[in-house]
Structures are given as structure tokens and as C-alpha cells.
Amino acid sequence: MPSIYPLGGQNMRLAGSIGVYDSLSETGIRMRSKNGFLTLYSESQKVFMKVTFRDSTKVLKLTDNIKKLFTRNVKSGCLTIRVEVPAKDVMIQEGVPEELCEFVKILETIYSNQPLPERIFTPKDVSFALLKASDRSKLHVARRQDYPVGTGFSPRLREFIARNLKLRSFDSRLHALTGLRFLDLGGNLIKHVPEEIQSLGLVKLVLDNNKIDSWPSVQLDSPLARALESIDLSFNTIEWLPDDFWNMENIVSANLSHLGLRGLPVSRLHLIKRLTELQINSNRLTSLPFALVVHRNCRLSVMDNVFTEVKVELPAISSVPTLQGCASLTCARKFSVSFLMDRLPWHLYIRFAVLRTCICCRSQCGLEPTRLLLQFPQTCHLCADRDNYPCIIAYLCGPLCYYKFKSKPWRYELG
């Protein structure tokens, strides 16, 4: 992941996945981006940009040669520099927004022909090996005695791995590393995950094989909720996850196996658009939430649970619906989840954020629907025990749908 930081305490450079492409031909062949280093050096009062890869280098003049800076997506971590001669695009992706903004300021200074401080420049002939040797964006601690105690962490740290070191607590110094993107503290003795973890814009978080017994609430607008794509909490002792667990709306892969979970969080689960893998093996789940029906292409693994056997029996229905049931039914059908989020107290919104689609009329249910268990739809992406097939909680919105389903239940099976 790209990062800008001093080389030897002085020079500025950018390290990460960089691609150099021909900007004239739209149909030209585009090579895949490679890990490399981008540095600046000065020669004959002109500024040059050098892209150094393991097996090659590319040099482009910047003085009076910057045609355009594509900065629209800098806050998302993307930057493209277009030069005129030769017609090339230098593309940087998955960058740290704050650091790319700093680099853009340097480029704008060059574009306006203003002088740069000498400390910005790197020697022209600096090698890939030297650049890599001074790279402080990754730290892998293999032994307990090597864990940084008095020295502290580099503020440019992007990747930190400290597995199987018998660490008993979450290092509070990590909270200040706003550029940290990959954190692996698996195989330790950590019991508590602090709420401050949501201040980190992590893309991947690995906390497997610890002694964690709870997971903190994560705010919807926090850096962690916006950035996290992969989480591994397996082999801990978490019976219940918070209702707002799926506030981390960009999750692609989640491993929640071997936790002893009694239930899966359901609020906002259907809004996780990128979910492609969910592992919930070896828990104490008796049923699955209806929201999982939405994730047809998600690889779902539910082996070694205690699912309830599906019986063709409907619970008794109340003849007189409550005022809350009627009001919530109207709200659920008339207003979107995002609309309600801005207008309801959080504890009430989180209940409306559960997907309750009536299996009979296919409309949204209120907060007091009739619940029943059905067999989970068979799919090639499901991995389950043959003798303990999972069941799913389904809903009927009112008396009319209740009696329709009761008369012909086979018509409304989940396909």
C-alpha cells in the first residue's frame, strides 16, 4: 500500500503498487501494477520522477511536463499523474489519502515552477535494494524479545504482524497508527478488543486463536467501518456479537467459526453488498437469519452447529395486532432503512434494519411478524452437514398471508 516517508530522515519517496501506462492509446496494452518506489531527484535545475521496480526503472521529467493530475479520487486512495513527453500515465492505487494529498502538493509546486526544498530529493542512482531496506511500512515480529517496547512504532507503518507471542492485551500505541491497513495479532492471549480500534482504517484484521470474549460496537461512520474488508475472529469465546456488527458495510470475507456463537447479528446484514465468504462453523446456532437469502453468491460454511429440525407447524397468531405492530408495518413499507436511520433513535433503527420480507406477499413486515422455520435454500455455495441441514427464520406479515401460507405451504418454499 502506498506510503510517503523520509528516506534516511530527509528524502521523500512513495512506495507501493505503481503502474506506468501509455496515455495516448486507449486500446494499448496495460501491464499490471507492480510493487515499486517513486522518488524525485533534481538535475540541471529540473525535477525528474523515477519509478524503481525490482527489475526495471522508469524516469520521467516533471518540470514543464506535467499535463494533468487526476486527483478526484485522492480521498479514496487513487492518484494518476499524466506527463506530456513521453505520453505516459503513472497510476497509484489503494493509497493512504492523507499521504497522497501531501504528494499532490509537491506535484502542484513543481507544476507552478516553484522551488522545492532539497530534502525532498533522493539521489539519482539509489537502488531498489536500498529503498526496500529502508522501507518501514511493514513490521513482522517473530519473537517476543523483538517486540518494540522502548523504540515505538514507525508512524508510517502499514502492515503489522505479531502472531504467537503470548501478548495479553491490545497495544494502545497501535491506535495512533492511522495509516495501518493490515493487522495480525492471531495466536496470542488477548481478552479485550478496545473500542478505539474503530479509529483505524484497517483493510484486513486477524485476531484468531485468542481469548477474546466480546467485540466492541463500531460506529457506522468510523474509519474501521468504512475500510474493513476481511476479518478473522475464529477460535475465540464470543457468544454474542453486537447488533451493529454489520456496520462494517464493506466486509468481503468474515471468519466467525469456533466462537460458540448462539446467534448471528442480523441488523444491516442484507446491506453488505460485497460479502463473498462467511464462515460460521462450529458454533451453537439453531437457525440462520432471513437476510442470508440475499447473499446467493456468498460462500457460506455452517458445519458443526445445532440447527433446529424443521416442522410443518405454524405458531398461533394473535387475533388483535398491537399498535406497535401496525405502526411498524407502515414504516417498514413506506420508508427506506436510510431514511429511518436519520429519524429514529439508534436502538429502534437497529430493529428496523433487519430484513423481514414476507414469504407470501413479498412485502416488508413490521417489528411483530409471525415467525416460522423453513429449510435453507439449497445452493452450490453452501457447505453444511448432511445430517444437520440448516434452517432459516422466515416471516409472515399478517393474518391474510398467515392463512394463505397455512392452506398451501408448498407454494411458498424458498427457492
Question: pLDDT-based confidence at 96, cuts 50/70/90?
Answer: low
Cis preceding-peptide flag for 369 (omega within 30 of 0) = no
Mean pLDDT of all residues in the chain?
A: 88
Helix (H) or strand (E) holding 401: helix 399-407
Question: Can you tell me the mean pLDDT for 360-379?
Answer: 90
Question: pLDDT-based confidence at 390, cuts 50/70/90?
Answer: very high
pLDDT of residue 276: 96
pLDDT of residue 111: 92
Question: pLDDT-based confidence at 339, cuts 50/70/90?
Answer: confident
The highest-confidence range among 19-28, 74-83, 148-157, by mean pLDDT, is 74-83
293: three-class secondary structure by DSSP? helix
pLDDT of residue 6: 47
In single-letter form, the type of residue at position 343 comes to R
Task: Out of 126-140, 164-178, 255-269, pick the least confident.
Answer: 126-140
pLDDT of residue 12: 75
pLDDT of residue 80: 93
Helix (H) or strand (E) holding 132: helix 128-133
391, 384 Cβ separation under 8 angstroms: no
Question: pLDDT-based confidence at 135, cuts 50/70/90?
Answer: low
Task: Out of 86-90, 93-97, 171-175, 246-250, pick the least confident.
Answer: 93-97
Question: Can you tell me the mean pLDDT for 79-98?
Answer: 86
Residue 186 Ramachandran class (φ > 0 left, ψ -120 to 50 alpha, else beta): beta
Q: Residue 92: beta bridge partners?
A: 18, 79
Span between the terminal Cα atoms of the chain, in Å: 42
- Say if residue 347's pLDDT is above 80: yes
Question: Can you tell me the mean pLDDT for 216-245?
Answer: 95
Task: Out of 185-189, 303-307, 319-323, 372-376, pick the least confident.
Answer: 319-323
More confident site: 177 or 216 = 216
Q: Which residues contact 376 (CB under 8 A, 6 or more apart)?
A: 288, 292, 382, 384, 389, 390, 391, 392, 414
pLDDT of residue 7: 45
Q: Residue 231: beta bridge partners?
A: 205, 254
Q: What percent of the chain has pLDDT over 70?
A: 93
C-alpha 226/C-alpha 297 separation (Å) is 22
pLDDT of residue 108: 92
Strand order in the sheet with 382-383: 138-140, 159-161, 182-184, 204-206, 230-232, 253-255, 277-279, 299-301, 382-383
C-alpha 89/C-alpha 68 separation (Å) is 9
Task: Out of 37-46, 167-176, 262-271, 306-315, pick the least confident.
Answer: 306-315
Q: What percent of the chain has pLDDT over 90?
A: 56
Alpha helices in 235-369 (DSSP H): 323-334, 337-341, 346-352
pLDDT of residue 365: 93
C-alpha 177/C-alpha 331 separation (Å) is 42
Angle (CA) 333-217-356 rounded to 5° is 20
Question: Can you tell me the mean pLDDT for 7-13?
Answer: 57
104: three-class secondary structure by DSSP? helix
Q: Which residues contact 326 (CB under 8 A, 6 or more apart)?
A: 366
